[in-house]
Structure 1
């Protein structure tokens, strides 16, 4: 592929397809335990699940763009280093912060009602806009997971004519990687959590605690690899 770049045969469409190849395979396997657990623990409704999935993917697109620009400016060595020790550190930290966020701001609580509590519907507190921060950080950090498509992107960007061209490669790759089954699977995880919380109100708190514990354990495991 590097030879094709030298001959001017690598286009943004080619890089986009490279991103699609990752988004449909490795991206889903790597990311679902993190963002899926977040949506499950939040007991997200459809709107919030799609919103947080979009924020998560936006974080990935921005990070790929930045990584490719860095590779074009400083060579692939610097950007590849981010995918090793620093990459695991970033993923672990983001996952632990997401777990702590669930503990700090539980997904939903039953509101007190003055009469006939047994027949009152379960109402959830409105979501805070800042609750989209953990998915954004998770998306950005998970781009540092070492894989062959990412290595190819960084190698291409390192051979690019300018940081701007590298950023264009990263943006195209990120948009391709956003074509992922996560767009369906994450809302399904949120719906499962919400169904459990609606039919069994006592599970609401425990579901959030369990999801927070999983995210923290995933984060600790990543930090253990540093």
Structure 2
């Protein structure tokens, strides 16, 4: 976590490419360390295919892009007020609630749809929700983004900067790591069907505990 920056300390002409590079710096470093425990637990507990894991990762990235666009818009219209609010712990509270919701979702009762007998699988909402909420984690790149948007003083420019930043942050090692975790989980389950339930409940417990920890940090 870094200190939030004063917009006056940043260059007056900040291009979208510069903001994109700022997002890349986040996606290739802090994003992986912060997000892997949450998404790794989700992918392992879900027990889907590697394609499912890649789809979840893309949904996660999509949630981040939406969040950064929204944050950029708010910062462009409201100035550095948003930075102060996130630094005050609001981001951690939202992350905690999203993580707990994902854990509960993972172990919710499955329903067989008659007459085809298809069992409901884990949905698309948790990865997007986790991506959105984890984007609220205060850090130096996010602080710089909000400072740029606040300095521009325009909602439209804020949205454009947020999308550029989110596209950069989407370039993350999670695109490789999460399918690998999924493959590892499939290997564990091979010829051990009894492990499936334990892995799912264990992953849910991890998500809930991570969520509770974030909530405590935000209080």
Structure with the greater alpha carbon radius of gyration: 1
Inter-partner Cα distance in structure 1 for 2:191 and 2:152? 55
Indicate which of 10, 23, 27 corresponds to 1:23: 27
Check if 1:34 corresponds to 2:28.
no
8 Å CA contact 2:86, 2:138 repeated in 1: no
Indicate which of 148, 161, 171 corresponds to 1:169: 161
Indicate which of 49, 52, 68 corresponds to 2:53: 49
5+ unaligned residues in a row in structure 1: which ranges? 107-123
8 Å CA contact 2:79, 2:153 repeated in 1: no
Check if 1:158 corresponds to 2:150.
yes
5+ unaligned residues in a row in structure 2: which ranges? 1-6, 111-117
8 Å CA contact 1:56, 1:138 repeated in 2: yes
Structure 1 runs, 4 residues or longer, greater than 6 Å off? none
8 Å CA contact 1:19, 1:174 repeated in 2: yes
Q: Which residue of 1 aligns with 2:62?
A: 58
Residue by residue, what CA displacement relative to the aligned partner does 1:78-109 show, whole Å, maximum 9, x if unpaired? 24413532111100000000100111056xxx
Residues 125/187 of structure 1: CA separation in 2 closer, same or farther (3 Å cut):
farther
Q: TM-score, normalised by structure 1?
A: 0.86
Q: Which residue of 1 aligns with 2:3?
A: none
8 Å CA contact 2:41, 2:206 repeated in 1: yes
Inter-partner Cα distance in structure 1 for 2:66 and 2:53? 20
Inter-partner Cα distance in structure 1 for 2:41 and 2:193? 19
Inter-partner Cα distance in structure 1 for 2:36 and 2:201? 18
Q: Which residue of 1 aligns with 2:121?
A: 127
Inter-partner Cα distance in structure 1 for 2:34 and 2:10? 30
Kindly report the root-mean-square deviation, in angstroms, between the aligned alpha carbons of the 2 structures: 2.0
Inter-partner Cα distance in structure 1 for 2:191 and 2:103? 24
8 Å CA contact 2:83, 2:143 repeated in 1: no
Work out the number of aligned pairs and report it. 207
